[in-house]
């Protein structure tokens, strides 16, 4: 088992929801995610609820139905501001597009904590996130080793606009550039399994000598497993995130392994950071919540199992 940067600061126990905050009641935080369609966000939600109970605060946890709905996420941000929360925790679908909506929180002196996917400004007091560049680089190292350090590879990246999508593509490409006998022949973009599966089957057809594929999130990785199962391809697949479908694909040999984040820890970190900020504590600009590479052999190890989710 290869352990990489692990979160040390965010542990605690489950919580309640409230849509508004009233004088004399517990502080209310608005927590806005990138979506609900993946099990990853349900695990982040659990972590946020867990920390809210530990901190004695109430939260709402909202997000658009899919991670393509930037306009919907802006609407959710504006609606959250109208509720006058004590703090905002926010995972951005776009690093810049939501600046105007965020600025109203900053102007009102409502602290902002970014989580999972940050923004290209200094409005958040901190960002609770995986080191996405390093995590994707680890995926690339595992893929390079599995294909004998030579041959054609490709990537299915979940988007082109979020910090996670940009960082994971960069980490993968930068690491592969260190392997001169490996060539990246295609990069496509899809967040949902069906579209990712179609993309990957097209890659396999266009590049018959393809030896490996990296899929940068839960949806893309599930799509990679589907594409391999439907085509019988022997291309080596490395995924990202967890969830039952992806774990099943690893156990079935459709994926060699995957990178798991610490989604419960990310949710805990987001809420805990708001509480600390409101108490006057100073936080680091980035809080690294850690990641691990896992495969069929180490999936049951205690430290790995603790950050996997269904």
Average pLDDT over residues 162-190: 98
Same domain, 220 and 174: yes
Question: Is residue 70 one of the residues assigned to a domain?
Answer: yes
Average pLDDT over residues 64-80: 96
pLDDT-derived band at 4, boundaries 50, 70, 90 = very low
Identify whether the C-beta of residue 151 lies closer than 8 Å to the C-beta of residue 182.
Answer: yes
Question: Is residue 297 one of the residues assigned to a domain?
Answer: no
Average pLDDT over residues 288-294: 97
Same domain, 249 and 273: no
Selected residue with higher pLDDT from 248 and 23: 248
Question: Is residue 11 pLDDT above 70, yes or no?
Answer: no
Same domain, 140 and 56: no
- Domain-terminating residue out of 221, 245, 260: 260
Same domain, 253 and 267: no
**CATH value at residue 279:** 3.40.50.2300
Same domain, 156 and 120: no
Question: Is residue 119 pLDDT above 70, yes or no?
Answer: yes
Model pLDDT, residue 24: 54
Model pLDDT, residue 310: 86
Question: Is residue 304 one of the residues assigned to a domain?
Answer: no
Place of tokens 């040999």: 253
Average pLDDT over residues 258-275: 97
Q: Which two tokens stand for residue 127?
A: 């960002």
Same domain, 72 and 112: yes
Same domain, 198 and 286: no
Domain that holds residue 53: 3-130+262-290
Same domain, 216 and 283: no
Average pLDDT over residues 289-306: 96
Q: List, for residues 128-174, the tens digit of each pLDDT value.
A: 999 999 999 999 999 999 999 999 999 999 999 999 999 999 999 99
Same domain, 43 and 163: no
Question: Is residue 261 pLDDT above 50, yes or no?
Answer: yes
Question: Is residue 7 one of the residues assigned to a domain?
Answer: yes
Question: Is residue 187 one of the residues assigned to a domain?
Answer: yes
Same domain, 124 and 270: yes
Average pLDDT over residues 25-53: 95
Model pLDDT, residue 264: 95
Average pLDDT, whole number, for the chain? 92
Strand ranges across the sheet with 182-189: 3-6, 290-295, 257-260, 236-240, 210-215, 151-157, 182-189
Identify whether the C-beta of residue 264 lies closer than 8 Å to the C-beta of residue 50.
Answer: yes
Same domain, 208 and 188: yes
Average pLDDT over residues 179-201: 98
Q: Which two tokens stand for residue 147?
A: 């294909």
Model pLDDT, residue 21: 40
Question: Is residue 9 pLDDT above 70, yes or no?
Answer: no
3-class secondary structure per residue, the chain: CCEEEECCCCCCCCCCECCCCCCCCCCEEEEECCCCCCHHHHHHHHHHHHHHHHHCCEEEEECCCCCCCHHHHHHHHHHHHHCCCCEEEECCCCCCCCHHHHHHHHHCCCCEEEECCCCCCCCCCEEEECCHHHHHHHHHHHHHHHCCCCEEEEEEECCCCCHHHHHHHHHHHHHHCCCCCEEEEEEEECCCHHHHHHHHHHHHHHCCCEEEEEECCHHHHHHHHHHHHHHCCCCEEEEECCCHHHHHHHHCCCCCEEEECCHHHHHHHHHHHHHHHHCCCCCCCEEECEEEEEECCCCCCHHHHCCCCC
pLDDT-derived band at 37, boundaries 50, 70, 90 = confident
Q: List, for residues 209-236, the tens digit of each pLDDT value.
A: 999 999 999 999 999 999 999 999 999 9
* Least confident segment among 1-5, 92-96, 129-133: 1-5
Question: Is residue 308 one of the residues assigned to a domain?
Answer: no
Question: Is residue 36 one of the residues assigned to a domain?
Answer: yes
Average pLDDT over residues 274-294: 97
Identify whether the C-beta of residue 260 lies closer than 8 Å to the C-beta of residue 218.
Answer: no
Same domain, 17 and 108: yes
How many domains in the chain?
2
Question: Is residue 300 one of the residues assigned to a domain?
Answer: no
């Amino acid at each position: 088992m290869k352990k990489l940067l692990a979160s040390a600061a965010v542990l605690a126990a489950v919580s309640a929801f409230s849509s508004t905050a009233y004088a004399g009641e517990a502080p209310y935080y608005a927590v806005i995610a990138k979506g609900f369609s993946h099990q990853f966000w349900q695990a982040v939600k659990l972590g946020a609820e867990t920390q809210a109970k530990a901190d004695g605060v109430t939260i709402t946890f909202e997000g658009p139905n899919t991670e393509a709905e930037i306009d919907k996420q802006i609407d959710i941000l504006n609606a959250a501001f109208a509720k006058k929360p004590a703090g905002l925790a926010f995972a951005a679908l776009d690093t810049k597009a939501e600046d105007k909506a965020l600025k109203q929180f900053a102007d009102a002196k409502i602290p902002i904590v970014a989580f999972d996917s940050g923004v290209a400004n200094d409005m958040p007091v901190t960002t609770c996130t995986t080191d996405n560049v390093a995590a994707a680089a680890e995926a690339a190292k595992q893929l390079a080793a599995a294909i004998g350090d030579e041959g054609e590879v490709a990537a299915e990246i979940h988007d082109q606009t979020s910090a996670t999508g940009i960082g994971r593509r960069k980490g993968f490409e930068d690491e592969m550039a260190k392997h001169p006998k490996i060539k990246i022949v295609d990069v496509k973009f899809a967040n949902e399994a069906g579209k990712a599966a179609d993309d990957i089957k097209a890659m396999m057809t266009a590049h018959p000598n393809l030896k490996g594929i990296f899929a940068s999130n839960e949806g893309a990785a599930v799509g990679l497993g589907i594409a391999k199962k439907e085509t019988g391809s022997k291309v080596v697949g490395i995924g990202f995130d967890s969830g039952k479908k992806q774990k099943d694909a690893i156990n079935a040999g459709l994926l060699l392994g995957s990178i798991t984040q610490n989604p419960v820890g990310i949710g805990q970190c987001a809420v805990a950071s708001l509480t600390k900020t409101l108490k006057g504590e100073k936080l680091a600009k980035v809080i690294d919540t850690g990641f691990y590479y896992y495969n069929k052999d180490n999936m049951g190890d205690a430290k790995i199992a603790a950050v996997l989710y269904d």
